[in-house]
A = this chain, B = another copy of it.
Amino acid sequence: MTSESTQSVEQAVIAANDAFYRVFAAKDLAAMDELWAQRVACATVHPLGELVLGREWVMETWELIFQDPNQPRVVMGDPHVAMQSSESAYVTCREFASGNALVSTNFFVLEDGAWRITHHHSSPIVMLQG
């Protein structure tokens, strides 16, 4: 693999991560459903939340989140891609929502030529000791 093709693969993963946050902001459940992998196990951990295992349960949490009028807008920045294999990668990035700084790990797999998310784990940064 040339450095050029590596770069374009990484750019494709970054674009998939961007799409995730764009759909999140749009609260578009059908579009969110299309972003998640179909053939590998999906899971998510929302901030300070329980482990959500399985695609169906994951999508139910997005439905609740999108229906919640108090759900804050989340903005993402500083994404870093870590390729794990030619068909799997994770992105670490930062989120900002309601005055809270969070960090997020998002995992992606290549399915039918598209990078689809399989896992989203988001957690706030909290100063524990002075």
Besides A50-B125, A51-B103, A82-B119, 15 other CB < 8 A contacts?
A40-B82, A43-B90, A43-B105, A45-B92, A47-B123, A48-B123, A48-B124, A48-B125, A84-B107, A84-B109, A84-B118, A90-B119, A105-B119, A121-B121, A123-B123
Contact of A43 among B40, B92, B94, B126 (CB under 8 A): B92
Q: Is the CB of B82 within 8 A of A126?
A: no
Q: How many copies altogether? A: 2
What residues of B have a CB within 8 angstroms of the CB of A48 in the complex? 123-126, 128
What residues of B have a CB within 8 angstroms of the CB of A128 in the complex? 48
Cβ of A64 under 8 Å from chain B: no
